Amino acid sequence: MQKRPPMNASPAHIRTRSLVRRMRLLEEELRGAPGRVKMTWRSARVQLLVEGAEVTLNPMERTLYRLFLAHPEGISASNLLLHWKELCEIYAKESCFDDPAIREEKLESLCAEDKKVFYATVSRIKKKFVTAVGPWRAEAYIIRKNAGGLYCLKATLFK
């Protein structure tokens, strides 16, 4: 049951209470919603639209993040090579290297069998988002391994 304002409440007081109530409802709604991000090519910044923050990622981190944004169903770490062409296209747009051999060398390290570079990159992305908005709010923006063993991202790309 909703509490009624006192009879002598001013119109400004009533509007303020109404605004606070709407903000609380919006916050509760956004808690369950996936995050929305805005990315521009070759820009180091990733804008978190709901949080109003920006996170700076290097080209390899942006490439991996874009790949996961494009695949909301998730990707297995062991099957990263299946997305080689897509990774090459994204990294060509994101990196400053004009030489395809250098770009391929960097991507080969990301897709290597030991997955050290992959895990380190995912970990760095997580740390940057947690630092920017805190651990609770970062959950919508970080790459996580789900129960099926696939790495996936809750966030969506705002176009």
Q: What is the pLDDT of residues 72-88, one digit of tens each?
A: 999 999 999 999 999 99
Band (48; pLDDT cuts 50, 70, 90): confident
Cα 67 versus chain centre, distance: 11
At residue 63, the pLDDT reads 94
* Residue-averaged pLDDT of the chain: 83
Separation CA 49–CA 37 (nearest Å): 6
30: nearest Cα among 154, 126, 157, 159: 154
Out of 22-36, 72-86, 97-111, 142-156, least confident range: 22-36
Residue 50 pLDDT class (50, 70, 90 cuts): low
Of the chain, the percentage scoring pLDDT greater than 70 comes to 84
Res 19: pLDDT: 77
Q: Taking the mean position of all CA atoms in its chain, how far away is CA 94? A: 16
**pLDDT higher than 80, residue 105:** yes
How do residues 22-46 score in pLDDT, each as one tens digit?
Answer: 776 566 555 555 677 888 776 778 8
pLDDT of residue 90: 93
Give the domain ranges of the chain.
1-32, 35-157
- Residue from 80, 90, 75 nearest 114 by CA: 80
